[in-house]
Amino acid sequence: MKQDIRHLFRDDDASGKQLPDNHRQEFYDKLKASRPRRESKINTSYLIRVAALIVVFLGLTFTIFKTIDNRSTQIVESSSMETQIEAIEKEYLASIDVEWQNFLAVANDQRLVSRYKDKLDDLDADYKEISKQFKTDTNNIFVIESLVENLQTRLQLLKDIQEHINVLNQKTEQYETINI
């Protein structure tokens, strides 16, 4: 029974037939249909969860950096305002000290000195209280105005005292001049 396969096809009636024109397309379609479907190794719900986590992470990161940037800007603004207020405070306190020393040099009456010392101590206690409020709320303009107003009041009080003493001294000199 050993035969050459070529001889078998020569004698066969099917060898002379023509294939239909769409034979190739039908063959490919049947081949695709018979091939087993490959399932995706990656689960789509898993991909959606990962994508959602990435979006949430990026959103939180952006929010945190934006918050940090705003805080650093506020800190810089607050520190520059605090620096300016400290400079004003030093200037006023230096002027107050100079006026107080001038008052002590001219004043003869210890009761007058102690009375004005008490008034200045009260103003100083108020100033310390306002300073505490300022440290808790540095952006409150009313607190800042209160600080400056307190310092101005103390300075004006000392200048008024100084002026009053100068007037009294002038009157005393006039009486001495008249008596001589």
- pLDDT tens per residue across span 114-145: 888 888 888 888 888 888 887 787 777 888 78
Distance CA 125, CA 121 (A): 6
Which DSSP symbol is given to 21?
T
Identify the pLDDT of residue 112.
76
pLDDT band at 75 (very low <50, low <70, confident <90, very high): low
Indicate the pTM of the whole model. 0.45
What is the residue-averaged pLDDT of the chain? 77
Identify the pLDDT of residue 13.
60
Question: Which token pair is 15?
Answer: 């060898």
